[in-house]
């Protein structure tokens, strides 16, 4: 058996691949910890601007490895939770590239990412109730924040899956592609990499955190996220590049 998670760098993007195709990339503890380690690397290396998370062999992730569960193993990382990323997120963006099935913990893993692109034949669902389990990796919390409550209830209580186009119509995913999801994810990543890294990280953090902020306190909460961006060299470079009609050269400071 080879490595359960592969990582490669392509144009400032860390491509992380769950590599258990023989098990439809069902999540193990080793895989969860390897994904968490890859996300630590994403934050630690300045040359990396974002990550793509995908699955090998034409499927994303079929959820928890049930054989491991029966042995008493939980596919979680101490900080990142299920799949290494559902209870913690890196500072930089992560794109889920979904082919095939993103079911149970696999859907929760996709929802934990910041953007999702999917092949037109991909399927999404949280079928835990069908197995006497509960979608405790974030699905039951995230879906009511992303969907009207009755739709979130339907997915949770019936356990039925939906296709990529339906997920797109509901606003759960960003793009649907006829080809491999990784290609569409790379296009999206390229646009992110072209932008100022400090601005991207601050924007992600505000979008992720601001749903908790009272309207009257938005500026108070937001200022710590953005103050260093407006005084950065990148902010000056962005303005100069715009005035000079050229591409900016970001320094990340």
What's residue 149's pLDDT? 96
What's residue 192's pLDDT? 98
What's residue 135's pLDDT? 93
Left if phi > 0, otherwise alpha if psi is -120 to 50, otherwise beta: which for 82? beta
Report whether 93 contacts 58 (CB < 8 A): no
**% of the chain at pLDDT higher than 70:** 99
Rounded alpha-carbon distances, angstroms, from residue 72 to 67, 82, 83, 152, 179 = 9, 15, 16, 30, 38
CA dist., res. 103 & res. 106, Å (int): 5
Residue of 4, 15, 33, 108 marked catalytic: 108
The pLDDT tens digits of the residues spanning 191-245 come to 999 999 999 999 999 999 888 888 788 888 888 878 888 889 888 888 888 889 9
CATH number 3.30.200.20 is the correct assignment for the domain at 5-193: no
Residue of 128, 216, 237, 244 marked catalytic: 128
Q: What is the mean pLDDT of the chain?
A: 94
Report domain extents, the chain. Answer: 5-193, 197-243
- Asked if the model's pLDDT at residue 1 lies above 80, the reply is no
* 108 part of the active site: yes
Domain 197-243 has what CATH class? mainly alpha
The pLDDT tens digits of the residues spanning 55-78 come to 999 999 999 998 888 888 889 999
């Amino acid at each position: 058996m080879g490595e359960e998670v592969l990582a490669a760098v392509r144009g400032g993007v860390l491509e992380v691949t769950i590599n258990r195709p023989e098990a439809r990339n069902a999540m193990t503890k080793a895989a969860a910890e390897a994904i968490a380690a890859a996300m630590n690397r994403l934050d630690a290396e300045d040359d990396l601007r974002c990550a793509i998370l995908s699955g090998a062999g034409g499927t994303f992730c079929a959820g928890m490895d049930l054989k491991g569960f029966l042995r008493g193993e939980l596919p979680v990382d101490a900080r990142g939770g299920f799949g290494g990323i559902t209870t913690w997120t890196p500072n930089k963006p992560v794109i889920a590239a979904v082919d095939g099935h993103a079911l149970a913990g696999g859907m929760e893993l996709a929802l934990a990412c910041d953007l999702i692109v999917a092949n037109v034949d991909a399927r999404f669902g949280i079928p835990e109730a069908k197995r006497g389990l509960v979608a405790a990796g974030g699905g039951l919390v995230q879906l009511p924040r992303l969907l009207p409550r009755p739709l979130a209830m339907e997915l949770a209580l019936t356990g039925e899956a939906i296709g990529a186009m339906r997920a797109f119509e509901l606003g759960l995913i960003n793009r649907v592609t006829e080809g491999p999801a990784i290609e569409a994810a790379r296009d999206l990543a390229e646009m992110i990499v072209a932008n100022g890294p400090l601005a991207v990280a601050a924007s992600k953090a505000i979008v992720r955190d601001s749903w908790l902020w009272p309207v009257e306190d938005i500026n108070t909460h937001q200022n710590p996220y953005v103050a260093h961006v407006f005084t950065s060299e990148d902010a000056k470079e962005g303005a100069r590049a715009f005035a000079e009609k050229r591409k900016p050269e970001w320094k990340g400071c």
